[in-house]
Copies of this chain bind each other. A is one copy, B any other.
Amino acid sequence: MATGGSAAMAVQPWRALLAAALESNAHLKHSSYFQLATVSVNGRPANRTVVFRGFQESSDNILINTDRRTNKVEEINHYPYGEICWYFTESWEQFRINGRIDIIDCSTRDLAKLQQREESWFASSLNSRLQYLRPFPRLPVLEEPSKDYQLDPSTGPVDSFCLLVFDPEQVDYVNLKRNVRFLFTSSHSSDQSTNVWQLEKVNP
């Protein structure tokens, strides 16, 4: 992949492009959904729709809630890389975001991470939280699911609740209305404390 050179920049304008896309598509509920690709344990690609839960504070990391019992958690444990494909149906913009994924679940010991997981739990609606009480995903339906799961609003995250923290390393942006495409690639700063993003304009 060709990057940088004279077009190198020290800012990350992909966040500005994404913020603008989110705003111009905000009237569409599905504008906060994207497709997350991972690699299955058998080596094959896997792909599913997930919900954008915002950015981690003071970083470019993307937050995704999921059920620890789903295949994707096993897949990410096995190979912690993913690619998000986020297509905005109103503005015809696509963000392909490639990066590394960290899993925060009930087995995590880092207290700051556990606090982040707790914040994500309480930031989701009670209805969303109730989903984590449902029968094991992808197992055969043994009985009609009862619809009266109960959860006290003050109860903390249940064991099946898992937070994915997606750390972007490359963003491939295309705008099909304006017919432009930008590649953003991150590298660590010389003191390793921050990411430096390089931008290149490429052919769509």
Contacts and interface: CB of A to CB of B under 8 A. Distances in A.
A37 interface: yes
Contact of A203 (B2, B137, B179, B200): B137
A203 B141 contact: yes
A171 B84 CA distance: 21
Contacts of A37: 35, 37, 45-47, 83, 85
Contacts of A81: 43-45
Contacts of A26: none
A164 to B, nearest CB: 14
A61 interface: no
Interface in A37-81: 37-39, 43-49, 79, 81
A193 to B, nearest CB: 25
A204 B44 contact: no
Contacts of A9: none
B83 A45 contact: yes
A120 interface: no
B203 A138 contact: yes
B203 A139 contact: yes
A8 interface: no
A162 interface: no
A201 interface: yes
A14 interface: no
Contacts of A45: 37-39, 45-46, 81-83, 98
B28 A89 contact: yes
Given A49-B94, A138-B203, 16 more contacts: A29-B89, A35-B35, A35-B37, A35-B87, A37-B45, A39-B45, A45-B46, A45-B83, A45-B98, A46-B96, A46-B98, A47-B83, A49-B85, A137-B202, A139-B202, A145-B179
